[in-house]
Amino acid sequence: MSNVISAKNLTLAYDNGRKEIIKNASFNIKKGDFVFITGPSGSGKSTLLKSLYGQLKPKEGNLVVGGRDLANISPRQLQELRTHMGIIFQDYKLINEWTVAKNVVLPLMIAGYSLDVQETQAHRLLKHVKLSEHADKYPLELSGGEQQRVGVARALAKNPVVILADEPTGNLDDYSSNVIWDLMENACQQLETTVLVVTHKIPTIFSLPYRHFIIESKGVYEVH
């Protein structure tokens, strides 16, 4: 009942169900859990995250996120649910015609915060990811690693209930990676944010207890 995410015999597939990526996966994730997800390239890590934010409907089985059954969620409910999620994409998905500052506060804009609040928050968030001096630039003027940090700042903007991160440190050096891990640890520890992170490398310095899922041969297994 305190499960934020609950999957039961979950099967995910592309191409109208013909191409199965994940089959019969079952797992529960509680509020405040920190979960690392690893697995070979092409195993379905991004696909699993996609299903969690409702971009891919389950082919079979049950998937409940934030109390909503994602197989039968209405567009309105999905929209509402998504405002409680902080999503970090493998390919950043920044809005290129907006400044970095505006990109970062997208969730606040959607929530209807005033421009004043948006501006102060943009400043605070960019400071956290060490990008203060880039506020007025456009995403394409930044390096890959910098863009990725903009994506992280955006995901954290509204203190989401769940963070779904796809390779958030994929393009970062050790120093920047540690900045990101610190931010996520803090969110998890202080706000009881549930965090799911897809990564190919679990950080060596990590102070919180965490869980580790491996995706392999269409299955999702937890490592104990």
Chain-centroid distance, C-alpha 125: 17
Is residue 69 close enough to count as binding other proteins by CB under 8 A? no
Is residue 212 close enough to count as binding other proteins by CB under 8 A? no
Is residue 42 close enough to count as binding ligand ATP by CB under 6 A? yes
Largest CA distance in the chain: 49
Site string for ligand ATP, 106-135 (x = CB under 6 A): ------------------------------
Residue 139, helix vs strand vs coil: helix
Among 44, 54, 107, 151, the residue binding ligand ATP under the rule CB under 6 A is: 44
The pairing of beta strand 162-166 with beta strand 85-88: parallel
Query: Is the CB of 44 or the CB of 151 nearer to ligand ATP?
Result: 44
Minimum gap (Å) between residue 13 Cβ and other proteins: 10
| Ranges of H-type helices in the chain | 45-52, 75-82, 100-104, 106-111, 115-128, 144-156, 174-191
Is residue 46 close enough to count as binding ligand ATP by CB under 6 A? yes
What is the Cα–Cα distance from 76 to 94, expressed in whole angstroms?
A: 24
Minimum gap (Å) between residue 129 Cβ and other proteins: 18
- Binding interface with Mg ion (CB under 5 A): 46, 90
